[in-house]
Chain A
Amino acid sequence: MNGEKTNLFGALVPKSATFTGPVLRVDGLSISVNTESGLKPLVHELSFDLHRGETLAIAGESGSGKSLTSLAIMGLLPPPAVRVTGGSIHFGELELTALGEYALRQIRGNRIAMIFQEPMTSLNPVMKIGTQLSEAICAHEAISFKEARVRALEALKSVRLSEPEKRLNQFPHELSGGMRQRVMIAMAIALKPDILIADEPTTALDVTVQREVLDLLRDLQHEMGTALILITHDMGVVAEMADRVLVMKGGHFVEENDVVSLFANPQQAYTSDLLEAVPSLGDGSGIARAYKPDDDTLVAELEKVVVHFDVRSGVLGRVTHRVHAVENVSLSIRKGEIFSLVGESGCGKSTIAKSMVGLVKHSGRIRINGHDISAPHGKMTNQVRRDVQMVFQDPMASLDPRMRVGELVREPLVIHGVGNPSEQKKQVGYLFERVGLSRDQVERYPHEFSGGQRQRICIARALALNPKLIIADESVSALDVTVQAKVLELLKELVSELGVSFLFISHDMAVVENISDRVGVMYLGQIVEMGNCEQIFGSPRHSYTKKLISAVPTPDPSRERQSLARLVGDIPSAVRPINETVPHVVLNNIGNGHMIATEDSFT
């Protein structure tokens, strides 16, 4: 049963309305949060129009109010504290802010659909995909569950999910992240909405998967003529997807323009700052380096490092499978060098970092500053711990929330018995200033700082013992681009001033290119290509490296969008049955330390 709705609001919400003018008109929208000190504005008099078949990107950093705006359109602002305090949202003829919950429910999902950032948390983990999809369809159309299932299958097919019939009977955890996001998209488009709101739809995905999802969204939009609101912090995604861009900052409207003009000629200072801070892929040649790595001193040497995790199953809890997290990785890091490991999630880059600081057991050999830390010949002593420090991805999670930051930075000194308390406090003050914080902030707690400041605190803690090597595991990934640029600048300064080396682990090719001396590309636990920046980004040889580089969205809307050879399927799993071994790739030096794996040894 298609066409007109027969419910109470049928007259209000016709299924096939023809819109004259914009589909959505937001006029002077203000959103405020109710605090004890009165109403605090979060979004300030925002106005924009959205037309049929158009993609509007709302771009901004965290706290800019971009997500709140989309929640306000959906009528999903968290009650009772946050609410719309002014302005209007017109969806065709309907004024959305005046509608009650029941009427909104008729529109939500049906006429305006939304895709969230984290597909795992937006799907119900105990319901099969097919049931969830059919339920969403049944909620809006008076059709039988059986018919809904047919529609669900069609939707899965339209998002080009492999084996759609099988997917209907699977649970969310059986799918990969990219597949889950496709299911979310299928759910959103199943009812052919007029407006699709995508809130950071690809932020949680790997870059090659992101590419596929973006392509899919674009294709679907062309086919269906849906208006798309794309909320993102990633200017690369904006450039590739948007027709028009709206830039927000701190709840205020900054600038709106069509995408080409905005990138070519930003009118506001903030927009140009934002665009400048975005790391972009070049050919790896144009980065000036004020320091030279010392070729003779190696701060870390890894020889044939292997890390396996056992998977137990069955009644007796026997080891039946093994996760081959790291397979036969050899690399070395020179003094004063930034070495980057890059790869997609699950490729083993973080596991290498953890084995280098003794958090996971490994076999093979790791030497830190000449000391062997691998069993059975060597071990992780406190002396070695002073030489290698780690900075984690999420600064909030890696700082004990119950301790004052000064105490946290002082802790390594206390543990290793460096100096007396007053000397330690002086050193903490120095470290705070060194990383760009002020001395009198030491008495505060981590939650009183912003994300970038917290990461600076983590860096200060890592520096406390004068280490030879700092491992930065996705240390800038959680930060806004303008903050990220400044933290990267700080890391470079530390290398040139203190001669410390960095092992920089990231999934972000553009960041890696902007900071590294040498790069190792990892795939399924092994390094497939290694070399300096010019070699990797200027003349990548391995097909996986090429794929990674071409998948990165370019923050340049005028650039021809090259149609990729569609990537088929997902990365194979690193979990294998116990008696199965992994073929090791062979790295060949093709000159100047550019190592690449022979492709045929790699299947």
Chain B
Amino acid sequence: MTNSENIDPAIAATAERGVIAQFARRKLALFGLFLVLLTLGAAIFAPWLTAFDPNEQMFDGLTLQGAPMPPGGPFTLGTDLLGRDLLTRILYGARTSLIIGVAANGLALLIGTIVGVTAGYFRGWIGSALMRLTDLMMAFPALLLAICLAAIFQPSLWIVALVIAIVYWVQTARVLYAETASLSEREFIAAERTIGASHMRILLKHILPHLVPTIIVWGTLGISTTVLLEATLSFLGVGVQPPTPSWGNIIFENQTYFQAAPWLVFFPGLAIVCLALAFNLVGDALREILDPTQRGRD
């Protein structure tokens, strides 16, 4: 019996290795982490990284005809329509985007997880009530809701984050509801109940760990979505208020001049793509590492 299957020593070895060591072996994940840290660094050290003020409209930031300066010369990435340094605005904009991406998205994930898991595990009338609420939120135009909320509260960065979270938790809740519902039917959950495990214990120790991959994937995907949602809100005037820069409102401020000054849309766009990609790479790696059943397979 014990000799009927010999355990591959390689599997046992990987099982012992820590999360950090495993992470370090993945080159793509390290690259993603590097990009995340780069953005974080840019956000924190923005004042030291650039000689300009993000909101200063410089006279020599515009050509004699009043057009923005192209990249190169004294302004590395060029200037915008009002003669502000684009690099400086992108560096400061990283603050806004990270706060929105991490705070708003994190809050949305938290609400979504609590609602989805509770509804999926208990079902019954609690589940129905929560899911009907989710359906209602889904049916309501998200942008309209965001505009209403933003109009009621005085627009500020944190209010925008809150508004985005309120709009965005719905998808997470839906997905996690379906997954929790199917997990609760699995035999090992029944096995836990027969040994007398409490609901709290089952939820925290046996259901949540299985949802981690989904939460991470939704979390990383959500970062790009929320950054864009913030951009949309800013564009409509109910998001981050000018002149505070955010990657989204830089794009929207300048999109009409896309043909004349493509760098104004290209560089902040690139920043959004890089940040989303970076979080995706890190998230993917974490998902694989945190799943013990994947160990020894790569």
Contacts and interface: CB of A to CB of B under 8 A. Distances in A.
Contacts of B210: 402
A412 B195 CA distance: 6
Interface stretch (B28-36, B185-193, B234-242): B185-193
A401 B195 contact: no
Given A436-B1, A448-B11, A453-B2, A402 B194 contact: no
B4 A386 contact: no
B201 A445 contact: no
A385 B1 CA distance: 30
A445 B295 contact: yes
Please indicate which of the listed interface residues B195, B292, B293, B295 has the most CB atoms of chain A within 10 Å of its own CB.
B195
Nearest to B186: A397
Contacts of B24: none
A438 B2 contact: yes
B291 interface: yes
A464 B7 CA distance: 25
Interface in A416-471: 416, 436-438, 443-445, 447-450, 452-453, 456, 458, 461, 464-465
B194 A359 contact: yes
B206 interface: yes
B74 to A, nearest CB: 53
Given A411-B197, A443-B15, A401 B293 contact: yes
A357 interface: yes
Nearest to A61: B4
A483 B4 contact: yes
B4 A452 contact: yes
Interface stretch (A363-371, A387-395, A538-546): A387-395
Nearest to A386: B196
A402 B5 contact: no
A385 B196 contact: yes
A576 B43 CA distance: 68
Size category of the binding interface on chain B: 20 to 34
Contact of A453 (B1, B11, B205): B1
Interface in A240-298: none
Nearest to A359: B190
B192 A449 contact: no
A398 B190 contact: yes
Contacts of A390: 191, 194
B12 interface: yes
A401 B194 CA distance: 18
Interface in B190-222: 190-198, 201, 205-206, 209-210
Please indicate which of the listed interface residues A386, A438, A450 has the most CB atoms of chain B within 10 Å of its own CB.
A450
Contacts of B2: 436-438, 453
Nearest to A383: B196
Interface string B1-34: 1101101000110010000000000000000000
A399 interface: yes
Contact of A415 (B12, B188, B195, B295): B195
A93 interface: no
Contact of B196 (A382, A448, A458, A461): A382
Interface residues of A, number: 43
A152 to B, nearest CB: 36
A486 B2 CA distance: 11
A400 interface: yes
Main secondary structure of the interface of B (DSSP, over half): helix
Main secondary structure of the interface of A (DSSP, over half): loop
A401 B186 CA distance: 11
Given A397-B187, A437-B2, A389 B292 contact: no
Given A359-B193, A400-B192, A401-B293, A392 B1 contact: no
A441 to B, nearest CB: 8
Contacts of A444: 7, 12, 15
A416 B196 contact: yes
A483 B293 CA distance: 24
A400 B190 CA distance: 11
B196 A452 contact: no
Please indicate which of the listed interface residues A386, A401, A436, A443 has the most CB atoms of chain B within 10 Å of its own CB.
A401
A401 to B, nearest CB: 5
A449 B198 CA distance: 28
A465 to B, nearest CB: 7
Nearest to A382: B196
Please indicate which of the listed interface residues B15, B187, B192 has the most CB atoms of chain A within 10 Å of its own CB.
B187
B251 to A, nearest CB: 41
A175 B192 CA distance: 34
Contact of B293 (A402, A437, A449): A402
B190 A449 contact: no
A427 B42 CA distance: 54
Given A386-B196, A452-B1, A486-B1, A402 B201 contact: no
A464 B194 CA distance: 13
A264 B52 CA distance: 94
Contact of A394 (B12, B187, B206, B209): B187
Given A444-B7, A445-B293, A448-B7, A411 B195 contact: yes
Contacts of A436: 1-2
A400 B15 contact: no
Interface string A164-190: 000000000000000000000000000
B195 A461 contact: yes
A503 to B, nearest CB: 13
B187 A398 contact: yes
A402 B196 contact: no
Contact of B187 (A382, A392, A461): A392
Contacts of B191: 390, 392, 398-399, 458, 461
A379 B188 CA distance: 23
A445 B292 contact: yes
Contacts of B291: 402
A465 B195 CA distance: 9
Contact of A357 (B194, B198, B205, B292): B194
Nearest to A449: B5
Interface string A518-556: 000000000000000000000000000000000000000
Contacts of B295: 445
B209 A402 contact: yes
Contacts of A385: 194-196
B196 A412 contact: yes
A415 B292 CA distance: 23
Contacts of B192: 400, 411
Interface string A458-494: 1001001100000000000000000100100000000
B292 A402 contact: yes
B5 A415 contact: no
Closest 3 CB pairs of A and B: A450-B5, A385-B196, A397-B187
10 contacts: A359-B190, A385-B195, A415-B196, A436-B2, A437-B2, A449-B5, A450-B5, A453-B1, A458-B191, A465-B195
Given A385-B194, A402-B293, A412-B196, 13 more contacts: A354-B190, A357-B194, A358-B193, A392-B187, A394-B187, A398-B190, A400-B188, A415-B201, A452-B1, A452-B4, A453-B1, A453-B4, A458-B191
